[in-house]
């Protein structure tokens, strides 16, 4: 079996495990209900008087803050708790193949949940003439944002057997990735603490909000793409280091 065949096998196994339990369906329903509520009730979709999904994508960094860690917290914690991690790693696959396979399965699950929001895109096209290029770019950015959160959740899941602890740690890390670029924080750093503009801009550049904004405008900037991919690669690499540490121990 080649590497990609191993990855596909792991991904298929993990994705099947998601839909074998009602948890997957509950997560998807909750996500769809919350996106609808925040878009139409709190986002002022109709009050804006424009054909756009700004009010829809505006809430994604915050919705994913809890949804994605809830999906990713079981990736390795469950394997460690049940004692199946050792069995998995004794199979004719490498740790990185298992890591990538599990990650892709969970990311695909999140992509399915995101794709099921298509009625909102259909609604805005029915009501007006939106810039579908902007909508497409926002969907790409949203998927990359979810992937970044998921990679962090994979890393924290490998740290502990306890899924709740994994969930809490990943929420905190992802929240910090939002916070460092949040306007009230940058304003506080610049005006209150007196940090220079270059320092504030450097700190803000590590925020997912800063890079997600470009996608919301329909701009597919390579720097934003590299930022999200870098988070995924770094977090998954760290996951591999942690798993190898458990394996050696």
- The model's pLDDT over 170-216, given as tens digits with 9 standing for 90+, comes to 999 999 998 887 777 777 777 677 777 777 777 778 888 888 988 98
State how far the alpha carbon of 94 is from the alpha carbons of 4, 23, 78, 190, in Å: 11, 29, 19, 47
- Express as a percent the part of the chain with pLDDT over 70: 89
Structure tokens at 212: 């997600």
Structure tokens at 56: 């829809």
Contacts of 44 (CB under 8 A, 6+ apart): 55
Domain boundaries, the chain: 3-248
Longest distance between any two alpha carbons in the chain, whole Å = 60
Which DSSP symbol is given to 240?
Answer: H
Asked if the model's pLDDT at residue 59 lies above 70, the reply is yes
Check: CB of residue 6 under 8 Å from CB of residue 101: yes
129-175: per-residue pLDDT in tens? 888 888 899 999 999 999 999 999 999 998 888 889 999 999 999 99
H helix or E strand, kind and range, residue 242: helix 222-248
Asked if the model's pLDDT at residue 108 lies above 90, the reply is yes
Check: CB of residue 170 under 8 Å from CB of residue 149: yes
Which DSSP symbol is given to 192?
Answer: I
Q: How far apart are alpha carbons 211 and 229 in whole angstroms?
A: 12
Contacts of 78 (CB under 8 A, 6+ apart): 163
Check: CB of residue 208 under 8 Å from CB of residue 148: yes
Check: CB of residue 207 under 8 Å from CB of residue 177: yes
Where does residue 218 fall: left (phi above 0), alpha (psi -120 to 50 degrees), or beta otherwise? left
What band does 82 get if pLDDT is binned at 50, 70 and 90?
low
- What is the reported pLDDT for 246? 65
């Amino acid at each position: 079996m080649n590497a990609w065949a191993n990855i596909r096998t792991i991904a298929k196994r993990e994705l099947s495990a998601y839909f074998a339990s009602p948890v997957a369906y509950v997560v998807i329903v909750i996500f769809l209900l919350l996106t609808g509520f925040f878009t139409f009730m709190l986002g002022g979709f109709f009050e804006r008087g424009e054909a756009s999904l700004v009010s829809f994508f505006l809430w994604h960094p915050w919705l994913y803050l809890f949804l994605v860690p809830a999906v990713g917290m079981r990736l390795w914690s469950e394997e460690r708790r049940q004692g199946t991690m050792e069995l998995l790693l004794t199979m004719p696959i490498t740790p990185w193949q298992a890591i990538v396979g599990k990650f892709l399965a969970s990311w695909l699950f999140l992509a399915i949940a995101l794709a099921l929001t298509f009625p909102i895109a259909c609604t805005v096209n029915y009501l007006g003439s939106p810039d579908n290029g902007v909508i497409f770019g926002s969907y790409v950015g949203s998927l990359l944002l979810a992937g970044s959160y998921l990679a962090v959740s994979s890393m924290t899941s490998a740290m502990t057997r306890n899924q709740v602890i994994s969930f809490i740690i990943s929420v905190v890390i992802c929240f910090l990735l939002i916070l460092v670029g949040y306007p009230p924080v940058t304003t506080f750093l610049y005006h209150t603490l007196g940090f220079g503009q270059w320092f504030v801009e450097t700190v803000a550049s590590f925020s997912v909000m800063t890079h997600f904004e470009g996608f919301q405008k329909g701009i597919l900037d390579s720097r934003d793409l590299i930022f999200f991919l870098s988070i995924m690669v770094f977090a998954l690499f760290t996951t591999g280091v942690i798993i190898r540490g458990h394996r050696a121990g």
